[in-house]
Structure 1
Amino acid sequence: MSDLASAAVERVYREHRTRMLAALVRALGDFELAEDALQEACSQALRRWPRAQVPDDPFAWLLTVARNHALDRLRHARMARAKLPEPPPPVVMSEKQLVSLGDERLSLIFTCCHPALAEDARVALTLQAVAGFTAAQIARTFLVAEPALAQRLVMAKRKIRDAGITFEVPADHLLPERLRGVLAVLYLIFTRGYTTASGPLRAEALRLGKLVAALMPDEPEAHGLVALMLLHDSRSAARFSAGGDVVLLEDQDRTLWNVDEISEGMALLDRALRFGSPGPYVLHAVIAALHVQDPVDWDRIAALYAELLAVAPTPVVELNRAVAVAMSSGPAVGLELVDGIRGLGSYHLWHSARADLLRRLGRVDEAVVAYRIAHELAVSSADRRFLAGRLKNLGG
């Protein structure tokens, strides 16, 4: 096998895998068949290209061979199953047709994030089909057994095939709701990477978010999400100490912040705000932008959280607003708001926020109890170390 041919196959697969898979899924309506066909095309390229010149358009070659291989499998399956007449021979598509089909990445993302699929299946399928993660990588990332994750992927792909889920960007009247689902999956991927300090996962969420924003330039929420992720990601290097301990915002070394990401995030946020009537991701991004200012305008942040509650009311947003109010109006006012929130009894950050406010009010015994509960509920080792340190400082 020539190094030149092997490198050419690897390069085309790495750079165009998502486009080729999108084209094949659209043409075949079957994820598993599309993936198998693309792998077979790559195998044929590795066998044939060393004996001949690498094609002028290797992308078109791989896509055509994959499509023809899939059609051949379908033909044999039909004949074996029902003895049907043999269909016409596979057709080599023109370069224009190939490129047109091959740029259906946005449709692929919407298909992976279809509301008929469970949320965990949407995340896994997006990471595998669009981002190119293996089942083993996804399983390790989300702390599940690889066989269970692989089965989840198989079931999701077959549900798309068997339910006849259309491979396309939704119609205009369905787009807002479906786009929210896509953005929610991307933000979930980013959040997982952010909370576990996984740089590759954050980078992939950003790459996919930028792809959606580029393919849907008139959707402010897409730009808002990318701005939000960039602004959060800009502080990644300062969020943990050299020993892996959590460093709070007010204690972070700002010289470690990524100024390029902050600048890019601000520019995207400005673009999103020009559309008017900001949605949840745009509002979240504005809040994130205020967090990187010095000094932090807590009055403005509290007001924005109140605005966010009007469009996306959740207990977590209520908690964030209460913390912001505590920073602007004092811990007593904040604690009253925190204690009025329902539905967060198993959320360690609710107990941690209560503990911090009780500590600031001098109610040490109550703070110790709250910190202990938060410590018991916390999952990440970094959070547990942080809370243990607070307990130690209070003599608990």
Structure 2
Amino acid sequence: MKALTSSLFIVCTFTTSLCVGAPYSASKIEELAKANPTEFKASWFADKNSVKSQTKELQTGYDYATSKKVPFVIDGIYYVDGQAQKYDSAQNSKASLILRSNSTLKFEQGAKLITKPNNYSSYTTLVARNVSNVNIVSPVLIGDRPSHKYTGNNSHEWGYGLAIYDGSGNVTVTNPVIEDMTGDGIYIGREWGSVKDSPPKNIQISNAKISKVRRNGITIASVDGLTIKVPTITDISDKFNTVAPSAAIDIEPEESANTEKSSIKNVVIDSLTAIRVKSPIQTNLTDKRTVDVKFTGVTNLIDSTSSAQIFAYDNTIDTKSITGGITIDNLVIKGNEFAPNLSLKQDNFQFNIKNLSSEKDMTVYLIGNAKEISKYNGFSIQNIESKGKIKAKYNFDYATKKPQKLVSPKYKINYPIEISQ
């Protein structure tokens, strides 16, 4: 066994069949494993004092721990390359750490994975695809947004902290902290390029804290069974070089062209807090799918950096093609006006806010053709407590922020609003 440095050896003997540099020899790691049978440390395999990428070393350790049915513990600050490794990808994408079935990944206090500055239009720090029974505890994931090289002509909006893709099930994420991604903090849906709709199932995320990401805090694009408990999402605004939609929660079923349609089913988001987010709740609907999302507890939208705290856009043709609905039990608006922009035209889809408390004026902008607005019913706000005025405006162009007549409106139809106090 040849020494690479005085303390760096080649490890080639593990069942993973990988050969990478590690701070300890294979025999030393086996000795440590016997002495510590309940968890294996990242520092046995990777150098936490190095500014070089430790991606493959960490993968080796994680895979080795998983093969022994032992949790793998990130016990320091490690730098990773967001495109270092190929995984089971529909389009040959790459990622930092590839999550495995029947595994536990834990982060000690103060531990984190930092993505090295890069010019990738897309990257992922942790990725799950076609895996099950994955437990992630207290991950701290830091992206490269402030130092990213935004080269080329694309938007670089696909740098994710955690991606949970199709075919994955029984994934639990507890106390994640995610910052400075060039795209989303967490993306849940089909990987772009997947032909069939095999949505992630039974995903549990608790106490997420996501901040200063460029696109969305959490994107929900395809799932059947998702619970997000007490997420706090902050500072998604122009100050941090954001790109649309700039949402805390983006509910947007999507898929590649000419593939099966995605749906969003059985989703519960409990006690969301969004602070200084440009447009906290976004919904983008297209034909032939189900969207079923419930916001429970108290949903707090605080100091939004634009007037559209809720934006619901309907790009459908068939007015009976979407089923389900979105319900917000208790919505509290602090710091600015409540001004949702709504363009909805589905007969079988309901958007209902049961209880609304607003510190200032409430204006609901209905984007559409006035002649067709009375055709549908489906958006309602009930039990309003507002210290300001309540009003509704029709034919509103959110880009110019003032009512106007639209001869050939871009948004054809949307629901009339029902307001009850």
Q: What TM-score, normalized by structure 1, do the two folds share?
A: 0.34
Considering fraction of residues, name the structure with more helix: 1
Q: What TM-score, normalized by structure 2, do the two folds share?
A: 0.32
In our comparison, the structure showing a higher alpha carbon Rg is 1
Considering fraction of residues, name the structure with more strand: 2
RCO comparison, higher one (Cα < 8 Å, 6+): 1
